[in-house]
Amino acid sequence: MAKKEKINDRYFESGRSLLPGRSRQATALLEHCMLCPRRCGVNRLQGETGFCGIGRKARIAAYGPHFGEESVLVGSTGSGAIFFGGCNLQCVFCQNEDISILHDHEGNIDAHGGDAGGEAVDGRQLAMIMLELQEKGCLNINLVTPSHVVPQILEALAEAAAMGLTLPLVYNTSAYDSVETLQLLDGIVDIYMPDCKFQRKESAARYLGAPDYPQVMQQAIVEMHSQVGDLICGRQGEAVRGLLVRHLVMPGLLEETAQIMQFLAHKVSSETFVNVMDQYRPCYRAAEFAELNRVLRPDEYEQAMEMARKAGLHRFEERDFGRLLALLKLDPR
């Protein structure tokens, strides 16, 4: 196990030396923003906003130790989650629409107040948040919905690393990421956690507003795996480095689940660590789509798990019912 910990140390030391240069490269991209597949072309350095609704500064909706993530990310001290405002997708079933959806159904920016999506922070402020999470004993820094703020993250990491940040970095993404932007993170991100949403362009267009999502997602995940490999865990079972994939099983769309599992097993790796999630519930605009306006049935979830096994996958998130019950007791809802 000591060898695995040294791997993480080496990645971090290498990443720290890369940070200043990568930060400058990424920040320059904001002048004519092509960071994500939307390729809006706006000048975010001057405060202009494209599809994601975020200009020069990142917005933070919330941060703190998070115990609702995968067990390999949480441990006993929690994952240091930082929830970024804005998003480059428009999921009709979004569970965080109050912080993620900063535009209307046609993709126009909704200027509903200056605090939409959270509080605007500069690089130093974001760096201090990362260091605060480390001081609280969090297991990692969990960057939630980061695709549209990679330059701001790199800017903050350059400062945080110089001030002593050593925690593994988790890139918690929808997988609507451009390969070119992901390459700026090579040697810096320790754990990639993409969400494989849909495999058919018709579904992606209808439910995400991004018909190219399947192709983009596949290319992004192949790139992520090429950078960090299969998931490696330390002596306490904590994620140290590698790829961890999420898939939210959708009602009535099991055929796409099967296709996604085949992709992961045969185009990425049969050792891919997968969290097959059953917690779908209608949120945001899901009621407008009759086929999505219901919860997942238990038999659908069991079929999804069988599809994953038949594809050749065998490393799954094991649901800790004791921990889930404890979380439910803490949830005022």
CATH at 78: 3.20.20.70
In the prediction, which pLDDT does 101 show?
A: 80
Distance between CA 105 and CA 288 in Å, rounded?
12
Q: What is the pLDDT of residue 318?
A: 81
Cα separation, 246 vs 276, in Å, equals: 6
Half-sphere exposure of 272 (CA within 13 A, CB side): 33
pLDDT of residue 280: 96
The predicted-structure confidence for 263-321, as pLDDT tens digits, reads as follows 999 999 999 999 999 999 999 999 999 999 999 999 999 999 999 999 999 999 986 54
Report how far residue 29's alpha carbon sits from residue 36's, in angstroms, rounded to the nearest whole number. 11
The strand ranges marked E within the chain are 58-66, 79-84, 119-121, 141-144, 169-173, 191-194, 232-233, 239-248, 273-277, 315-316
Q: For residue 59, what pLDDT is reported?
A: 97
Rounded average pLDDT over 106-132: 76
Q: What is the pLDDT of residue 103?
A: 57
Average pLDDT on 39-60 reads: 96
Contact predicate 153/123, CB 8 Å: no
Torsion of CA 176, 181, 182, 184, to 10 degrees: -160
Please, which pLDDT band fits residue 14 given cuts at 50, 70 and 90? low
Q: Which has the higher per-residue pLDDT, 109 or 304?
A: 304
Mean pLDDT score across all residues of the chain: 89
Q: Residue 66 to residues 250, 289, 317: CA-CA distances in angstroms? A: 25, 31, 17
Q: Please report the pLDDT score of residue 12 as a whole number.
A: 58
What is the pLDDT, as a whole number, of residue 18? 87
Q: Residue 117: which pLDDT band, with cuts at 50, 70 and 90?
A: confident
State the total domains in the chain. Answer: 1
- Whether the pLDDT of residue 1 is over 90: the answer is no
Tokens at 11, concatenated: 């990645």
- Tell me what the mean pLDDT of segment 148-166 comes to: 96
Residue 95 scores a pLDDT above 70: yes
Alpha carbon distance 264, 129 (integer Å): 34
> What's the CA gap between 298 and 283, in Å, rounded?
19
Structural domain containing residue 63: 2-330
Q: What is the DSSP string of 54-71?
A: --SSEEEEEEEEE-SS-H
Q: What is the pLDDT of residues 237-264, one digit of tens each?
A: 999 999 999 999 999 999 999 999 999 9
Q: Report pLDDT for 110.
A: 52
What is the per-residue pLDDT for 102?
73
